[in-house]
Structure 1
């Protein structure tokens, strides 16, 4: 699988907003998430449909249209670094007031799905 350039993955930062509100309220959750991101895990890129009511195969309430597993360790490491920085210090201008995601990231490590 060809790795996408890191700047092209900026849109993935928005995907954490779906659960970032609750995580950012609790420093313990932020620390757990950053620890999870620092470890190898299963990383899936999800294609979402924000305009359809989700009846099955949902991700944070949005219908999953498709998914692929990201297996390149270098790409996972780079993505984890970007996500970890954003979780530690989110930039409000990147948090949309109307959040209709088209993509999401499902990170599984230590038996926890993020």
Structure 2
């Protein structure tokens, strides 16, 4: 069984961006990515929310983007080694069929 395509998360170089999806091909109209920084040195993801729900993985499914929604990334000056290490999620669960990532 092939894994579902995913998108790896990394620190964006922008504070906010709206991706306008072609509704002829995708279920959602837009996907917004928004960051919260407290200073210029904030370059590490501290936590994330997808559509208002906590996101404990350093990736999202491709369908999360194409269905439209809102991704909020809180950034900080030091790495949060606990974030993105969700228990029970193996790399093989999503990396077998990885498509593309976004970020710097």
The TM-score bracket by the shorter chain reads: under 0.3
Q: TM-score w.r.t. structure 2 length? A: 0.27
Q: Relative to total residues, which structure has the larger strand share, 1 or 2?
A: 2
Q: Relative to total residues, which structure has the larger helix share, 1 or 2?
A: 1
Q: TM-score w.r.t. structure 1 length? A: 0.26
